[in-house]
Each structure stands twice: as C-alpha cells, then as structure tokens.
Amino acid sequence: MGKGRNLPLTAYALGVYLFLFTPIVVLVLFSFNDSPRNFVWRGFTLDWYPVLFKDAHVLGALWISIQVAAIAVVGSTVLGTLLGLGLARLRGGFGGGIADTLILLPMVTPEVVMGISLLLFFALLFDAHGSILQIAISHIAFSISYVTIVVRARAVSLDPRIVEAARDLGSSPLSAFWHVTLPLLMPAVGAGAMIAFALSFDDLIITSFQAGPGSSTLPLYIYSRIRFGVTPEINAISTIIVSVTALIILVAWRIGAVKPAKPQPTI
C-alpha cells in the first residue's frame, strides 16, 4: 500500500500537465498560422519569423530587456550571494532574524505597490523617469531575495571546517572566500542568477511603472500590443523564447546545474 500505483491520482496528474502545457502548445501552433488574425486557423506558414526579425520595435524592446536583465542579474547575484552566505554563517540570532524578515518582505509585497513606490522614489528624489538603469535597479530590489534564499540553502550545508582548513594553511579570508567558498557555492549562485534573469526578463508589473519613452521592455511592448490585437509575430517571438528557455533548463538539468529535488518556492 502507499508505494503502489494510484490510478485516479496519476490520471489527475496527467490532466494537470495537460492544463500546464495547453496554452504553450496553442501559442506555438498559432505562430505558424497563415492569418494576421490570431484566432482562427487558416493554414501553415513560416512567414511570421522573417517578419519578426525585421521588426525594429520588437528587436529594440528585446535589446532593452537584455540590457536590463544583464545589469539586474549581476547586481542581484552579487548582493544576494553575500547576503545568503552571511545569513547562513550567522544562523539566526537577533540580527539574522531581522535580516531574514527583510529578505522575505520583497517576496510578499504586491508588485503593484513596489512599482508605484519605486516610481515615486525615482520621480520625487531624482526626477528620474524611466532609464534602463532605473528599471534594472528596481529589478534588483525584488530579485535579491530569491538569490539569497537559494545561496543560503547551499551555504548552510557547507562544512565550515573546509574554510577553516584553508585559513589554517595560511590563506587570507578573501582568498579563502575566492578559492574555497565561492567554488563550492557556485551551483547555487548559478541557479540564483538564472532565477534573477527569468524574473527580470519576465517582469511586467513593476517595470510598467518605471519604463519611460524609449525604454519599453519586451513584456511591456507585448502587453501594449495585446490591447490593439496581436499578430502571430508575437507568437513567433514567444515560440523562440519558449524553445530557448526550455533548452537551457533541460540542458542545465541534465548536466546537474539545476537540482530540483529540494526546490525553493521560487519560479
């Protein structure tokens, strides 16, 4: 009992996977639809892909998204890794408890509130309205927590004696960090960076309050197009994004960079 099969539950699980993948399949299918309207199937075509690569708006928005994500990944990975390591070493205590709560708060703050708070912050204190840097800074603010949690989980499991051994053998704290701790943390740092990239590349709500003319990210551009009716061009770029991410995730999983056995409650 218990260990055996449970047919109704297995059937249910298949149903959930169907639910999860149906929108993705529909999206990909309609990128090959021979009709500028996105809702009725007319026939197969590959025409939307060349159109996409000539569309200056899409490519411009993609380029802005990539720049924002690059800054956000570097910033949140560096800050989150230091935080995760520091919290793991402190192991609670008064300061650690407060820091833990502060890490948790951005994860449980409604995005719309974070969006307007950063808009007011930049507009009132710096008279800034929508540079790439402003968007990236706001992305770092909500990504730090995720990196911290992933890195912290691994740092807690590190044997402190390994670092002590390096110190006994005469390495400075900095070189022990660089040559011992960081390489051991690397899988978690990599996973954290991937999460930060996904969060930044995907964010719409917070970004919509930061972006100004000329700094529309890809999700923001797609959102603005949806209101006026979308051509399969948007499906085409979605298909490319889906394929690339799926490939990266599966490869990362295969080579063992991503270990989902003990996942954190993050994207």
Partner 1 sequence: MMRARFRDGALLFPGISWLFVFFAAPLAIIFVVSLGQRDAYGGAILDKGLSFNNYLRALEPSFLPTVLNSLKYAVATTVLSIGISYPIAYWISRHGGSRKGLLLILVMLPFWTSWVIRTYAWMIILRDNGVLNGVLQATGIIHDPLILLNTDFAVVLGMTYGFLPFSILPLYVSIDRVDESVVAAARDLYAGPAQAFRHVTLPLTMPGVIAASLLTFIPAIGDFVTPDILGGAQTTTIAKVIQSLFLSARDWPFGAALGFLLILATIIGTVSTLRILRAEVIG
Q: Which of residues 100-119 bind partner 1 (CB under 8 A)?
A: 100-114, 116-119
Binding test (CB under 8 A) with partner 1, winner from 140, 189, 196, 236: 140
Interface stretch with partner 1, choices 44-52, 66-74, 78-86, 184-192 (CB under 8 A) = 78-86
Binding test (CB under 8 A) with partner 1, winner from 128, 133, 184, 204: 204
CA 146 to centroid of chain Cα atoms: 9
Number of residues that bind partner 1 (CB under 8 A): 102
- State in angstroms the smallest separation of the CB of 54 from partner 1: 20
With binding defined as CB under 8 A, does residue 219 bind partner 1? yes
Cβ nearer to partner 1, comparing 140 with 193? 140
With binding defined as CB under 8 A, does residue 212 bind partner 1? no
Q: Could you tell me the two tokens for 233?
A: 């061009």
With binding defined as CB under 8 A, does residue 154 bind partner 1? no
Query: Residue by residue, what is the 3-state secondary structure of 201-245?
Result: HHCCHHHHHHCCCCCCCHHHHHHHHHCCCCCHHHHHHHHHHHHHH
CA atoms of 250 and 248, how far apart (whole Å): 6
With binding defined as CB under 8 A, does residue 263 bind partner 1? yes
Among residues 148, 190, 189, 184, the alpha carbon closest in space to that of 166 is found at: 184
DSSP 33: B
Binding test (CB under 8 A) with partner 1, winner from 69, 196, 200, 209: 209
Site for partner 1 in 36-75 (CB under 8 A): 38-41
Cβ nearer to partner 1, comparing 53 with 253? 253
Beta carbons within 10 angstroms of residue 126's beta carbon: 10
Binding test (CB under 8 A) with partner 1, winner from 52, 149, 191, 196: 149
With binding defined as CB under 8 A, does residue 90 bind partner 1? yes
With binding defined as CB under 8 A, does residue 236 bind partner 1? no
DSSP 94-118: HHHHHHHHHHHHHHTS-HHHHHHHH
Q: Could you tell me the two tokens for 70?
A: 């690059």
DSSP 251: H
